[in-house]
Amino acid sequence: MPGRNGIPSILPLVSLAFVAGCAAGETSPPGTDATPNLRFAVSIDAAASSTPLDGRVLVLIAADETGRASRYTSDPIGVGFNKKMPEPRHLLNDFDNTAQAFGVDVEDLAPGASAIVDGTTLGYPIESLGNLPAGEYWVQGVLHVYETITRGDGKVLKLPMDRGEGQQWTSAPGNLYSDPVKVRIDPSRSDTISISLTKKNPPVEPAKDTKYVKHLRMKSELLSKFWGREMYLGAIVVLPEGFDEHPNAKYPLAVYHGHFQSTVNGWRETAPDVETGSYDRDSVAKYCPNGHEGNWCTKVGYDRVITEYDWNFFQEWTGKDFPRVLMLTIQHANPYYDDSYAVNSANIGPYGDAITKELIPFVEQKFRGIGEGWARALYGGSTGGWEVLGAQVFYPDDYNGAFASCPDPIDFRGYTTVNLYEDENAYWYDGGPFRRTERPAHRDNLGNVRATTRQANLRELVLGDKTRSGGQYDVWEAVFSPSGTDGYPRRIWDKRTGVIDREVANYWRENYDLVHIMRRDWAKLGPRLRGKIEIYAGAHDNIYLNNAVYNAEDFLAKVKNPLSDAKVVYGVKDEHCFSGDTTEVNAFSRLTYHSRFIRKMRDHWLKTAPAGGDVTSWRY
């Protein structure tokens, strides 16, 4: 599941100029699309771009209290956002403290010309500009730039190609944006608010190599053919201690799957500065139990926790008792998301083959990998958890071990809170004659619902139509769906109503429902998967990913001929992303992924190595 943004800047206290659109005093009822009074006119400053651009224009609106104290994005003690407020573009989320957004596509928007956002433009969470309460707001414009792509099959698409940032519209190089400014908005008045996009996100600075960490980029022939242009995969490789001193050693490969990283995660080659602060473990466990509760984590010193654990892992890695392996993190951001889910897809391309058949042999050849399936294993959580199990299922002989934590839905009968094969609607439970109930999308540790599936999908639809939001539901659709006649992914459900397309759901089941595929093909998969699968999930997973794991456990525990010998472990009170450590809350255990799972891999490789397999050269 996504989420990486840089430290936001502070809003300037300036006012936005108004340009009268109609006669002063002319009013109409707010919130009626038929009589849109208020509008925004968003234009490109010639200094930001001298050429016309395609893309998605977004208008972001934030109140002074936007981002107020929340378990997920603020702090409990009192640095309020009124005093130090991020830009509106960094405040859009799935919770009650979200900013407001409106979005519209543009083609060939020339400098000086305007894109219009008015009462007919879809918004989130308030759907119509006419329903925005009158008041003073911070306003910011963004243009998420699209490129025209002629895919290998001849389909012409407009998509936001990744530019090195990991498919993040807030920071994508070349995207334009305006300074945030404060303005009074009154939907009952016929005003035009002009926004000029004067700024451009800079290029991403490449990460630097060290003695241990190497950053590689490899052209993929398979992906280039699919996309009709040169496409590259990235690899971040951590070399074992003693790599140069043992030129005859060959190494197993530990493949870490997860969201886009610019460099290796969980790694620090210098000791933390003693002046960087301190933390109290009980406070971290209370306010920052999962490590991603925003400013709550900052307030209780979680940054210090991270630096200490990262340094500790480096010391382990270079110590005499740690397994000598190659640790690989893959960069496979694409036009739809920050990674590809590491499988072949009708919309994203043959990333499964590109990673397994092109990138991994490339890395192993360059850094003396053993280069055999028995000496490779996979680990990761959330998105990475799905990728781990998916790669093991689709390439059963190329990997020997899948350690999947809190995986994205691995059984579409438990597609978070939706059964794609039996439910009619993804947004609403079956209702009675007088009411119906929305399906939840996010809960806290006590089960309190913080967002619904409908709300989360509305946010994505405002950010980008045709599955172009870069969001979680959209990437599942991009990976799992067939292509439509227009070349874009077919919708699994109507994005506005939630009505499920049964034909698309059946396609998903036969091609990407991992539990269904294992059950269907167990006669040939079983002998090649036996003993290779471990799955971990919190029983209180915030996005209900444990529902699919229950279905997987039921199959893996009962299947015979052969037995699966799989392991499924639950954290009874744990949230997202439980990874098997029952002694610590996620905030701490998530920082020991590499250490714990690479040791597990070492033991598994030694136990299952074939006769003649190299189990000695790398054990120094």
Least confident residue range of 21-25, 115-119, 285-289: 21-25
pLDDT of residue 36: 52
CATH number for region 213-411+514-608:
3.40.50.1820
Cα dist from 189 to 18, 26, 111, 193, 518, whole Å = 12, 6, 27, 11, 60
Average of per-residue pLDDT across 35-53? 92
Q: How far apart are the first and last CA of the chain?
A: 37
C-alpha span between 86 and 67 (Å, rounded): 9
pLDDT of residue 620: 97
pLDDT over threshold 80, residue 274 = no
Asked if 125 and 45 touch (Cβ cutoff 8 Å), the reply is no
Give residue-wise pLDDT tens across range 301-316.
999 999 999 999 999 9
C-alpha span between 25 and 22 (Å, rounded): 9
- Residue type present at position 198: T
Least confident residue range of 35-49, 271-285, 499-513: 271-285
C-alpha span between 128 and 256 (Å, rounded): 43
User: Per the omega criterion (within 30 degrees of 0), is the bond before 577 cis?
Assistant: yes
Cα dist from 278 to 80, 113, 298, 380, whole Å = 22, 52, 11, 28
C-alpha span between 388 and 396 (Å, rounded): 11
Confidence band for 75, pLDDT divided at 50, 70 and 90: very low
User: DSSP characters for 144-176?
Assistant: EEEEEEE-TTS-EEEE----SS-S-TTT-TT-E
Provide the token pair at 136: 């003073």
pLDDT over threshold 50, residue 82 = no
pLDDT over threshold 80, residue 615 = yes
- Residue type present at position 525: L
Q: What is the pTM of this model?
A: 0.92
18-20/191-197 β-pairing: antiparallel
- Residue type present at position 459: R
C-alpha span between 55 and 400 (Å, rounded): 43
pLDDT over threshold 70, residue 22 = no
CATH code 3.40.50.1820 region(s) in the chain: 213-411+514-608
Asked if 19 and 194 touch (Cβ cutoff 8 Å), the reply is yes
pLDDT over threshold 90, residue 487 = yes
Confidence band for 68, pLDDT divided at 50, 70 and 90: low
pLDDT of residue 506: 99
C-alpha span between 610 and 375 (Å, rounded): 10
- Residue type present at position 151: R
Give residue-wise pLDDT tens across range 384-429.
999 999 999 999 999 999 999 999 999 999 999 999 999 999 999 9
Confidence band for 67, pLDDT divided at 50, 70 and 90: low
pLDDT of residue 86: 84
How much of the chain exceeds pLDDT 90, in percent? 87
User: DSSP characters for 88-103?
Assistant: GGG---SSTTPPEEEE
C-alpha span between 405 and 578 (Å, rounded): 6
pLDDT of residue 273: 86
Asked if 504 and 483 touch (Cβ cutoff 8 Å), the reply is no
C-alpha span between 25 and 141 (Å, rounded): 27
Average of per-residue pLDDT across 124-145? 97
Spell out the residues 6+ positions from residue 478 whose beta carbon is closer than 8 angstroms to its own.
Answer: 336, 337, 345, 347, 348, 467, 489
Which ranges of 248-301 would DSSP assign to H, the alpha helix? Answer: 281-287, 295-299
User: Per the omega criterion (within 30 degrees of 0), is the bond before 527 cis?
Assistant: no
Least confident residue range of 296-305, 557-566, 603-612: 296-305
Give residue-wise pLDDT tens across range 90-117.
999 999 999 999 999 999 999 999 999 9
pLDDT over threshold 80, residue 9 = no
Give residue-wise pLDDT tens across range 209-240.
999 999 999 999 999 999 999 999 999 999 99
Is residue 4 packed enough to be buried (19+ CB in 10 Å), middle (13-18) or exposed (0-12)? middle
Give residue-wise pLDDT tens across range 420-479.
999 999 999 999 999 999 999 999 988 999 999 999 999 999 999 999 999 999 999 999
Provide the token pair at 67: 């981002």
C-alpha span between 354 and 331 (Å, rounded): 12
567 strand-pairing partners: 534
pLDDT, the chain, mean? 92
Give residue-wise pLDDT tens across range 541-556.
999 999 999 999 999 9
Spell out the residues 6+ positions from residue 514 whose beta carbon is closer than 8 angstroms to its own.
Answer: 386, 389, 390, 393, 410, 411, 552
Asked if 352 and 395 touch (Cβ cutoff 8 Å), the reply is yes
pLDDT over threshold 50, residue 179 = yes
pLDDT of residue 294: 81
pLDDT over threshold 50, residue 71 = no
In eight-state DSSP terms, residue 591 is: G
158 strand-pairing partners: 148
Asked if 272 and 304 touch (Cβ cutoff 8 Å), the reply is yes
C-alpha span between 367 and 237 (Å, rounded): 9
